[in-house]
Structure 1
């Protein structure tokens, strides 16, 4: 509904204007009426009505003088002059000032309605034109900013508005899991008064460019991301660049953001990542990954029905990928290679196990949004194999390797040759002979020495108590632990701990 205002020094005219027609039926509402020109001028500037009816003759200021001052103050609405005079000079002067209509008193109702309908149509047409111009300008600015972040200098240098924007600049990228329009994002920012940035959509993400960046700009960006996660896409995440003093450098910061996006796949979840933090260790060459060792540990976990081993495998994968800042593509390649080798190894030793197909492995790997999700999915799929494994499958090359691996993992339990023989389907005496031949020690000696070595490692931690060490490595009797420790090390656990401090 369009707003109208009446300015006339005659109260009867103002009151009559309010009731002469049904304003709302024509799409108008009365903003107010004023009896003094100066008072009316202030109201025009403050309330900015769409149409102003103004008397041509008023004390202190004429209607034409009011029109002149209102336009000089930036008012761009429409004026309709009301006059009791049919003097052509008045009409001619009104035309010069850009007055939209000239009505004679007393006001003819039909003439007023026709004038308003014409005025309403003209306003609508102007609004449509203004909207089209605004949309074109907005699109032009958006395309210019896209050229900036793409590094297409020749495509934006001719845009005068961009050349005058002051630095330093910060650019942040928000990555979405859901489809989102630029209009919706801009509306969201405007509603929550986050309007200090230019929003550029490109591919599956949105860039926010902050000119005249200050120390508070990072907080502004984080506020925008938190808002998006809360109201639009809870899985959205963002990466923020380092500040640059020149708009020409923004394209290189965009490339840095894209490089960082490949690495955050392996990092702990954050609301906002920074390129400086993400890429700080990405310049070092990736260290080799011993896939065979990981596979052996996984097979032991399945055979021993021990999910704790799988959890440690997961943590070691995470540590490797994070330490080496491995990109998403490389992670997927490595993990696909791992599961295929694991499948072959399990199939070789346990042919009765129903294996996950290559395509199923592939789908699990590429569908994961994050390294942690990927490993959780793989661990669950791998763990399902353990239910199909009954007993231990040996061959001449790895039978004792598995027995020793079991000892290394469960050394703190109540182990004996008899327990191991039953578990691995061996005669106890025969297993003892094979064990000595493989390790060079009798079983009880090997286990004792291994426990003492583990105890020595624990004793390097000054906060741990001696009795805690004894229990942790499988000695339930403290005196027996002291005796065996001194036999192998030459000093008591306490003396050993003190000697570490002196060294």
Structure 2
């Protein structure tokens, strides 16, 4: 369902728009109806709507100003603009913000339905493209993620479930109906041919292999999704009769039947844990050797501890400088960054893959070691040792610290923080913020800005309202600043300044 908001200063129009259409039948959830542009913008900051139906003329923030301000903090919002004939020239200005849907007042119900259907189709197409992009990103990352999974699991067999849950969704591992086959007497000289034949066998029968072929000291392990018992019997027969150049003995397959995917991987990785060298063979014939290198879990743990103990950004930069050396290959640097991210940002059920994929996309857009290091400087800065308690999670501590430092940025929003700073779901972060702070993010941000505004007035004797508005994050909109100030202090900025003057 798409999240829809209505913004109009006329009550009868708001109520009519809210009631004349069955939005759920069109694939929408009506989340709010704002009475003016200021209220609309604050709702956007907190409720992250997908679509906004807005009047072009409203008090405090007009429709165009609302669009301009909102698009800076969330460029994915689609606006449907309502305007009268005399305002159409204003509406045309919105084209520079990508607004394509205009409706003339009085609003025709069928025209609005057509516009909403068109927007939904556009969003469905965007969603399909995004899903394809996400699949492509995860496909490119499949090999390093599989290696990270195996290496971390080998060091965490005593506490395996959290490790498994972290990677299960990233690697699309089915919950049940997985089987493993341990094929003995596979000599390394014929390993590549064996793996090639096995991949062809499974592909021809449309049986999905859910992990690369694993190999340790003459034993190859296949992990797959078996549809029927007959599939297992056919596989055992095939492997028993398979021959490869250089093979001296007959292969001997044995089937493992754990009840869940978690137990299966735990069993398989437990069998691998006593070997120093493990090989992973992908369908393209590439062989990856797993051993203790810079991207191993023990090294990741050491670097993570150093980052968390660093007391400032300069110290974190020093840690990263020693880790991301120019002698590293780009693939190793990316794998190391990936391991650090997964260690510092454990994937939880409340956080969908979009947030992680956004990080992956940005990481794999880095084209050299320096770019990877600079990106990780930003990504790890948020995770430096910060005070937290049973009452407050690190995420909320970090949000509040960021607001304190960057409140002057007029485009600051919870969605931006979620997607670019914390790499979590905005919905998850929004609920977490309200739960722990008892107020919406926009209220908290405005309160910080108003406190700073009064600080400027009281301690620096600043009386330039326009300049104060800019310094506390209201850009070139002093009228919006005055309205927010009056709401928090029950007087205008000018009245507040007058009260500061001695009698």
Structure label with greater radius of gyration = 1
Could you say which TM-score interval applies, normalised by the shorter chain? 0.3 to 0.5
